[in-house]
């Protein structure tokens, strides 16, 4: 008798796809909502994770990736193994959840999904919720053999080296006011020369529980901005929170080369050796 095939899961997982799989072996649901939301209503069996544990603390560049030791301890405390499929969600459509999934990709753990629409979709579509705190699983000894930084992560020198690369697009997913430098968030405000701007929230359908807009609609908008799958795309926001969601969206759309700039504007705008412009170039319509 042939062996039973291992179930596979799409990168963007809808609520009706998740519910029948709850409780399966090697399956972990992680809730990154506000603690009070988790305490009142969450996906049954979901573990709550404090978002702050996903970023390096104590630096002006508040989105940096923690070191291997920290991440190994974090994922061990969640009971993660190399075989675990992680499903992440939050209460804002996917920013915090996206950061968790990008982090997993950065360390080479590729088995993960984003719950489409997050908590809002789960609740509004009538799926079962729980207010019972999920007990942490048995701690594992998750090992990080080497980060996948060659393909998933961009640091400041890498971005500087690719500003004028015709095969690379810098995608700034902050608000238009941040991009223009009208909102002060760092010592220097504005955007990287040549960067294109598309607010991260465009990908969400606010009339459909924050689920992703249709694939065709997203592709049309991206292509109009010159963001095409033949180019490498470097995404950033202020702390690689909003842009981590965009990273997942681009991956789901089939973009093969996407990097997240973890330091984002909290690093770029607070340095003195990085070029900044406040022009109106490449504002998304």
Active site residue 33: no
Residues 6+ apart with CB under 8 A from 114: 11, 12, 13, 87, 88, 89, 94, 97, 98, 101, 245, 248, 252
Whether residue 282 contacts residue 196, with contact meaning beta carbons closer than 8 Å, is answered with: yes
Between CA 125 and CA 121 the distance in angstroms is 6
Long-range contacts of 213-222 (CB under 8 A, 24+ apart): 215/253, 218/249, 218/253, 219/253, 221/284, 222/198, 222/253
**Out of 237, 244, 248, 262, which one is annotated catalytic?**
237
Q: Are strands 211-212 and 204-205 parallel, antiparallel or unpaired?
A: antiparallel
Residues marked as catalytic: 237
């Amino acid at each position: 008798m042939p062996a039973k095939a291992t179930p596979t899961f799409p990168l963007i997982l809808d609520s009706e796809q998740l519910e029948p799989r709850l409780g399966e072996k090697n399956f972990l649901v992680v809730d990154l909502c506000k603690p009070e939301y988790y305490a009142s209503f969450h996906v049954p069996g979901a573990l709550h994770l404090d978002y702050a544990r996903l970023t390096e603390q104590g630096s002006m560049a508040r989105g940096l990736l923690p070191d291997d030791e920290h991440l190994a301890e974090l994922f061990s405390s969640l009971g993660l193994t190399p075989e675990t499929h992680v499903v992440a969600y939050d209460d804002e459509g996917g920013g915090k959840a996206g950061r968790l999934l990008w982090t997993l990709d950065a360390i080479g753990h590729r088995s993960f999904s984003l719950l489409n629409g997050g908590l809002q979709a789960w609740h509004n579509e009538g799926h079962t919720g729980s207010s019972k705190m999920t007990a942490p699983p048995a701690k594992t000894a998750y090992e990080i053999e080497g980060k996948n930084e060659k393909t998933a992560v961009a640091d400041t020198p890498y971005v500087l080296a690719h500003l004028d690369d015709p095969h690379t697009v810098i995608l700034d997913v902050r608000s238009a006011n941040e991009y223009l430098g009208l909102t002060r968030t760092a010592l220097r405000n504005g955007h990287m020369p040549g960067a294109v701007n598309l607010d991260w929230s465009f990908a969400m359908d606010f009339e459909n529980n924050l689920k992703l807009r249709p694939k065709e609609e997203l592709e049309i908008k991206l292509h109009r901005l010159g963001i095409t799958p033949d180019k490498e795309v470097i995404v950033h926001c202020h702390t690689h929170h909003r842009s981590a969601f965009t990273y997942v969206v681009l991956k789901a759309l089939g973009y093969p080369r996407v990097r997240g700039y973890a330091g984002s504007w909290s690093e770029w705008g607070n340095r003195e050796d990085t070029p900044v412009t406040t022009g109106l170039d490449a504002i998304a319509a």
